[in-house]
């Protein structure tokens, strides 16, 4: 910082510094500063030029001193300004981390690291060689275990990523198949796809006319070859226990199977008490028995029906292992560690080929001892789906059941769909 320069004095100020004390003494005790300054001023005015010459010379000398010191101070201030400006600009060979506070912090950190290494070396030098070898062995073992866990976790993450990539390809093919099916259901969709303009009644008549006549037998044979084969159940899956599906319920099950083949969604809009829950469980039983897929399946329900869904699953299809994913955060975190592991997410969902006898039920059941996923159906609420979407999104869900989207749950329902 540039030094402060003492201001230059005038000739009167030099006269005051040499004569004020004498004047105050001459005027006697009790003289005020104002009276003394008035007397000093009157005496200065009557001084001759020759008497003033001494004080004028002192004034010129002091002004010269002020100019000289001011020049030096300005030079120093200019040099400091240039130095500060250079500190704000990275010079050649410098980096942003080798300047200012960062440089000081790095130097302090390096010094602490050097001190730590020095103390460690001194400690190892004074340690017993046998103890040192044992410590090194334990450290190497821990490092190997850590590396093994890292590789295992990377393999699990890769398996989950591959599973999702395969699912994306399947979903893309299914979306194309679904679009072709929908376009084939209506001439309106077909014309929109081809961009041929508006749809008229004449077009309907022409389409209906051509759909029923065949120009020749070859075309009839080709049409027969193109007819798709659909699965149609004449009886309920054998894993449905405790009752028999009514005809309309079996028809609803076949309708859901047909939608699942086309990759379409559907809504069961039967009146209350007609067995929509049982039909929903039946489509999961169809996947289990005929497609040999255990899951995973996700059922999102209001909190009030959570317990009822668990009871119905156990009653109608005990072969499906269902879990209730709900509760406080600590309880959910424990469930995530136990049930929603990366190994469980990477499982392909296929049923095991080996079966064992269930002593409690007296029936043959799947041997899931080697299955990393301990459940087939996850029953939860809309709130938990949105709260734990990061955990649930790891799984490639086979089937999604959403129960009773009431007005109070609409925003949660749409958040779930877009997730």
- The dihedral through the CA atoms of 40, 45, 47, 52 has a sign that is positive
Provide CATH code, domain 247-418: 3.40.50.10810
pLDDT at 187: 62
- Contact at 8 Å (CB) between 409 and 382? yes
- Residues sharing a CB contact under 8 Å with residue 144, sequence separation 6 or more, in sequence order: none
pLDDT at 92: 61
- pLDDT tens for 45-57 read 998 888 889 999 9
| pLDDT-flagged residues of the chain (< 70) | 1-2, 87-100, 163-164, 167-168, 171, 177-179, 181-229, 405-419
377-381 and 297-301 as β-strands: parallel, antiparallel, unpaired? parallel
- Taking residue 55's Cβ as centre, other Cβ atoms within 10 Å add up to 21
Q: In Å, how far from its chain's centre is CA 140?
A: 35
- CA-CA distance, 210 to 213, in Å (whole number)? 5
Question: Domain residue spans in the chain?
Answer: 11-87, 128-197, 247-418
- Residues sharing a CB contact under 8 Å with residue 377, sequence separation 6 or more, in sequence order: 284, 295, 296, 297, 298, 299, 313, 320, 321, 322, 323
Which pTM value belongs to this model? Answer: 0.52
pLDDT at 136: 84
pLDDT at 203: 45
297-301 and 399-402 as β-strands: parallel, antiparallel, unpaired? parallel
pLDDT at 274: 82
- Residues sharing a CB contact under 8 Å with residue 129, sequence separation 6 or more, in sequence order: none
> What strands, in cross-sheet order, belong to the sheet with 322-324?
322-324, 377-381, 297-301, 399-402
Q: What is the overall mean pLDDT for the chain?
A: 80
Beta strands of 233-339 (E only): which ranges?
Answer: 297-301, 322-324
pLDDT at 334: 92
- CA-CA distance, 309 to 306, in Å (whole number)? 5
- CA-CA distance, 399 to 250, in Å (whole number)? 19
Q: Angle 247-262/129-185 helices, nearest 10 degrees?
A: 110
């Amino acid at each position: 910082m540039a030094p402060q320069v003492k201001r230059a004095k005038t000739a009167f100020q030099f006269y005051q510094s040499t004569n004020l004390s004498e004047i105050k003494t001459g005027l006697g005790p009790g003289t005020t500063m104002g009276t003394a300054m008035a007397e000093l001023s009157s005496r200065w005015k009557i001084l001759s030029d020759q008497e003033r010459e001494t004080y004028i010379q002192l004034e010129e000398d002091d002004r010269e001193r002020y100019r000289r010191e001011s020049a030096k101070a300005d030079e120093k201030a200019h040099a400091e300004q240039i130095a500060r400006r250079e500190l704000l600009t990275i010079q050649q060979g410098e980096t942003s981390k080798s300047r200012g506070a960062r440089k000081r912090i790095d130097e302090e950190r390096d010094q602490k690291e050097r001190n730590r290494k020095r103390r460690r070396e001194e400690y190892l030098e004074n340690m017993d060689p046998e103890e040192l070898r044992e410590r090194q062995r334990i450290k190497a073992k821990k490092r190997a275990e850590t590396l093994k866990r890292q590789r295992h976790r990377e393999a699990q993450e890769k398996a989950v990523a591959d599973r999702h990539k395969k699912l994306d390809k399947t979903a893309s093919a299914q979306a194309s198949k679904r679009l072709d099916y929908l376009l084939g259901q209506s001439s309106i969709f077909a014309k929109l796809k081809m961009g041929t303009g508006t749809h008229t009644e004449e077009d309907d008549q022409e389409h209906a006319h051509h759909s029923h006549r065949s120009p020749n037998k070859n075309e009839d044979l080709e049409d027969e070859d193109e007819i798709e084969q659909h699965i149609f159940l004449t009886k309920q899956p054998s894993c449905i226990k405790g009752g028999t599906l009514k005809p309309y319920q079996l028809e609803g099950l076949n309708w859901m199977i047909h939608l699942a083949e086309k990759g379409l969604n559907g809504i069961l809009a039967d009146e209350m008490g007609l067995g929509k829950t049982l039909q929903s469980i039946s489509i999961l039983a169809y996947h289990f028995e005929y497609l040999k897929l255990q899951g995973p399946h996700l059922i999102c329900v209001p909190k009030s029906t959570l317990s009822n869904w668990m009871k119905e699953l156990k009653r109608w299809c005990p072969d499906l292992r269902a879990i209730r994913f709900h509760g406080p955060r600590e309880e959910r975190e424990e469930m995530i560690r136990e049930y929603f592991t990366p190994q469980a997410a990477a499982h392909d969902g296929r049923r095991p080929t080996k079966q064992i006898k269930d002593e409690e039920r007296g029936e043959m059941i799947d041997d899931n001892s080697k299955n990393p996923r301990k459940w087939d159906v996850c029953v939860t609420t809309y709130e938990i789906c949105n709260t734990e979407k990061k955990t649930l999104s790891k799984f490639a869900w086979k089937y999604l059941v959403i129960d009773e989207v009431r007005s109070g749950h609409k925003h949660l329902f749409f958040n779930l769909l877009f997730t």
